[in-house]
Amino acid sequence: MNAIEVENLTCAYGDKTILKDVSFSVKEREILFIIGGSGCGKSTLLRCMIGLLAPKSGEIRYFEKSFLNASEEEQRHILKSFGVLYQSNALWSSMTIAENIALPLEQYTTHTKTEIAEKVALKLEQVGLPGVQELYPRELSGGMKKRAALARALALDPKIVFFDEPTSGLDPVTARGMDDLILEVSKTFGTTMVIVSHELASIFSLAHRVILLDGEVQGIIAEGSPEKLAAERNDKRVANFFTNRKSNINPASFWGQCSNFKF
């Protein structure tokens, strides 16, 4: 069964079309990467999929249920089935970490304050941040903020999690730790994941499949495993994406050099 189905999706800002007639699906438990150069529409596609931008046309289905044509109540129910980790983390600076993670629980559940506090503690344990409930985002390192934001994305035990550049701004060792955590969540909970990224190490470490967007085409120009796309020589656009991003570095070898670090 497909967790997500995107069909003939056209996304635009005013009169400027960014993506045109884009179609793809994501299987349950799959880790799909959306990749491409700057300005190709990766973030725009993500915004449409999570309901932050209304597409001009097309359809999005979650577990065979229409998202775009659903009633307000139905959309609210669908929204509860996925979490989002934003590139900027989107943690409220005036709130403690516990208060940030509690937000979706307060909005979408009828849990008591005690139940919410227990859930917050559990989620922080799951991302390796026990005991930081009373700290504020400014008191955390960049990697810790990412983990706290992931804890919030997981608060409702979602079936799908969307990530927008989850390792952006992190040093290589911290980025590897984040990749390991994402993989652990995927394996432990069977979560379907859609990840927007241009980081080759993450793509090769995590992706079951990737779709490559192109700004000129305004859509998908290649789809498949990262190994398959990296070996592509017939389409220069596909080859250039990998060669222009230090694809001469073997991700497995690189991460092997980091194996002695603690995350």
Asked if 169 and 94 touch (Cβ cutoff 8 Å), the reply is: no
pTM over 0.75: yes
pLDDT for the residue 234: 85
Confidence band, pLDDT 50/70/90 cuts, at residue 198: confident
Span 230-259, average pLDDT: 64
Span 9-14, average pLDDT: 95
Instruction: State pLDDT tens for residues 57-107.
Output: 999 999 999 999 999 999 988 988 999 999 888 999 999 999 999 999 999
Per the model's pLDDT, the better-predicted residue between 252 and 171 turns out to be 171
Asked if 174 and 263 touch (Cβ cutoff 8 Å), the reply is: yes
Three-state SS string across 197-259, please?
CCCHHHHHHHCCEEEEEECCCCEEEEEECHHHHHCCCCCHHHHHHHHCCCCCCCHHHHHHHCC
Question: Residue ranges per domain, the chain?
Answer: 2-81+159-257, 93-157
Statement: residue 246 has pLDDT above 80: no
Tell me the pLDDT of the chain averaged across its residues: 90
CATH of domain 2-81+159-257: 3.40.50.300
Instruction: State pLDDT tens for residues 21-67.
Output: 999 999 999 999 999 988 899 999 999 999 999 999 999 999 999 99
Asked if 218 and 36 touch (Cβ cutoff 8 Å), the reply is: no
Statement: residue 255 has pLDDT above 80: no
pLDDT for the residue 261: 36
Phi, psi of 92 (to 5 degrees): -75, 120
Confidence band, pLDDT 50/70/90 cuts, at residue 263: very low
Asked if 14 and 180 touch (Cβ cutoff 8 Å), the reply is: no
* Selection from 41, 22, 15, 68 nearest residue 216 by Cα: 41
Edge to edge, the sheet with strand 16-27 lists 16-27, 2-13, 57-62, 65-66
Structure tokens at 128: 């390796």
Contacts of 263 (CB under 8 A, 6+ apart): 128, 173, 174, 176, 177, 180, 181
pLDDT for the residue 245: 60
% of the chain with per-residue pLDDT over 90: 79
d(CA 256, CA 108): 42
pLDDT for the residue 38: 87
pLDDT for the residue 258: 40
